[in-house]
Amino acid sequence: MNTSPHLLDEALGLMPGISNGGALSQGCIVLIEDSVETSGAFILHYIVKRALSLDSSGIVLFLALAHPFSHYERILRKLGCNLSVHREQKRFHLFDILQLEFPCESKKDSVEQGLVELYSKIQSAVEVISSRDHSRAHISILIDDLSILEIAAHGSMDHVLNFLHYCVTLTSEQNCSLVILNHEDIYPDIEGRRLLSHLVYLADFIIKAEPLATGIAADVHGQLTVLKKGTSNNGHYSADKASNFHFQVKEHGVDLFFPGSRC
């Protein structure tokens, strides 16, 4: 990442002295919305890197629904983050749905039980980490990506929503942070829109990766909008704050810059 200070750090409150070293704030929920045309996976990778950085004592629980460990290891290594080392040090924990005993049947009880068992594994990991870590290292839970969890649940939106609410409750009770990647443009029906509206409601930050409104450009791969939702505290209300950037994905990272700054 070549911008300094990094624009995404500033938008998410990851600047030194503001947050947990390189991790998101406690109880924070981040929704990353992308599309089939414009992937937002690079944001997820960057958040993992920041959570595991040297100035952070953070621990990452990664629910891998889209790719195996080797995929993330290869990408993060290019970003200067060795996931194998962090895994050995018990700072990076991967839950690979391909290796979990998730039900192949579409029966309601089987799907529900599969999601309950998946959540139980995450909950147990959080509790074990919290009990052994007297310094209370910040735990980040990341999901890549939610649309595949719906497929694994055989299209049962209610079960996916229940799973999400369990994760949100865990995030609140254990002072974790939760980051969810989801494809926004694959839900044409009412049920799909219901899931999207729930995600937007739950999130403190909404990061949207989109194609350029002006079309394809050689040195700009898309535009990024970071919305920090307003809060209300003891009668004091802070308004929503939106930040808009352009981005260029490179082999060893991504450049973020303000629109019109590369003329």
| Distance separating alpha carbons of residues 45 and 251, to the nearest angstrom | 13
Q: Between these two residues, 56 and 94, which has the higher pLDDT value?
A: 94
Do residues 79 and 46 lie in contact, with contact meaning Cβ atoms separated by under 8 Å?
yes
Distance CA 156, CA 94 (A): 24
pLDDT reported for residue 43:
95
The mean pLDDT of 57-83, rounded to a whole number, is: 94
**Per-residue pLDDT tens over the stretch 104-143:** 555 667 778 888 999 999 999 999 998 875 557 899 999 9
234 burial (CB, 10 Å; 0-12 / 13-18 / 19+) is exposed
Distance CA 260, CA 47 (A): 26
Which domains can be identified in the chain, with CATH numbers?
7-204 (3.40.50.300)
pLDDT at 25: 87
Backbone angles phi, psi at 54, to 5 degrees: -65, -30
For position 4, what pLDDT does the model report? Answer: 39
User: Closest Cα to residue 151, out of 121, 117, 195, 190?
Assistant: 195
